[in-house]
Amino acid sequence: MIPRYRPADVAELFSDVHRFDTMLEVEILAAEALAHRGVVPTHDAAALRLRRPVVDADFVAEVEERELITNHDTAAFVDVVQSRVGMPEAAWIHYGLTSSDVVDTALCHTLARAMDIVLAEATALRDALTRRARESIDWPITGRTHGMHAEPTTYGAKFALFALQVQRDVERATRAREGIAVGKLSGAVGTYSNIDPEVEESVCRALGLRAVPATQVIARDRHAEVLYACAALGTSMEQFALEVRHLARSEVGEAQEPFAPGQKGSSAMPHKRNPIVAERLCGLSRVLRGYLQSGLEDVALWHERDISHSSVERVVLPDALQLTVYMLRKATALADGLVLVRERALENLTRGSLGLVFSQSVLLALVESGMARDDAYRVVQSAARTAVEQGRDFRDVLAEDEAVTLDAASFGRAFDIERMVAHRHRFLDALTWSS
């Protein structure tokens, strides 16, 4: 991931130092489990733990140098570990294991930790949207369908629906985290030919993972599910960001991104206050969906394994997790800081729409008064067309129409915003978590 979108805490998890350090822990835990079963001498296993090499930049460089000879990164890693530990104890490093036992288990451990960060940040976004929903549930705004004025809703209803969607993403990410928190140390083709299943259980338990049946590699639908969870979160953030972009348009003006002192919206036009964070979220969500496609392609491998997935995962898994966390933090800041221009929203809802947002209410009032629905529809449709063509208030046009025989109370009730959003707190009732 390029530095611009790289959160330091997630990037550290996917660093070579962390990767090799986790692989080394798998190796030593395996040796200790073998010692418990009487395969490895107890004092040799203790020596491996005591002389555990420090994994740092020099260690990584040595592995890379050794790989120039082995042309196999795990074999190079094992060689370097053995050389640093020293014989004869080092002979028990990688005993009975195959590369994927170590690599896959270490990767799943890393992905589970990264998903913990994703879940924390996704929950923070959900809670930010929830706070804004509760704050603005009573603030009316024009609802739009097909980009056109429809009926009144409230800012809070919008925020609540976004919060509910992110909560579903949290639930999906929780399942993905559970699915990826697994490990395997069952050897070549996964038959435990040279390693006891109890060793696998012991190592996975120590790492907070669940041992699962596997071929030589852990099934890649688990990794694809992680990428789906990231892509789903990205798409939810895009939906929120797209709404911000639409509401921020000059002719709408119902919301604005926070704008810091000294910030510039355009290098050429000083008046600009562009929704750049929302646009960035929309763009980056496309990247996350692309990573999902790659992850799905990785699921089908030859027989008990091949390594066509390996090169793909070295790119898409670290990048997807880093990008998801970056986006979540930006989306949360956007939700917290979004400026809601209530006065403009109310103006657009009433004068800006010419009152056309009340057309269904008038239609139903006419039906209730005894008019046939199609006749009522045509009366209201004609009045709406006249209002648009003449730039007049819809209510005034209806008041002059002899076909509209509503009494004053019914007529007034049809244009009552409060009546139309009376059930708005139902949205808040659905926000059942605490925030």
Give yes or no for a contact between 348 and 255, defined as CB atoms under 8 angstroms apart.
no
Distance, CA of 244 to chain centre: 18
Among 97, 75, 114, which Cα is nearest to 26's?
A: 97
- Give the pLDDT confidence of 329-346 residue by residue, as tens digits: 999 999 999 999 999 999
pTM of the predicted model, to two decimals?
0.95
For 52-94, give the DSSP string: PPP-SHHHHHHHHHHHHHHS-HHHHHHHHHHHHH-TTGGGGTT
Sequence ranges of the domains in the chain: 1-95, 114-193+215-254+270-340, 356-414
The pLDDT assigned to 272 comes to 81
The pLDDT assigned to 333 comes to 97
Which residues in the chain show pLDDT less than 70? 435
- Give the pLDDT confidence of 143-166 residue by residue, as tens digits: 999 999 999 999 999 999 999 999
- What is the CATH code for 1-95? 1.10.275.10
Report the catalytic residues: 146, 266
The pLDDT assigned to 266 comes to 78
The pLDDT assigned to 362 comes to 96
Residues of 272-292 as b/e, b for ≥16 C-beta within 10 angstroms?
eeebebbbbbbebbebbbebb
- What is the CATH code for 114-193+215-254+270-340? 1.20.200.10
Give the span between the Cα atoms of 378 and 370, in whole angstroms.
Answer: 15
Amino acid at 103: V
- Give the pLDDT confidence of 117-153 residue by residue, as tens digits: 999 999 999 999 999 999 999 999 999 999 999 999 9
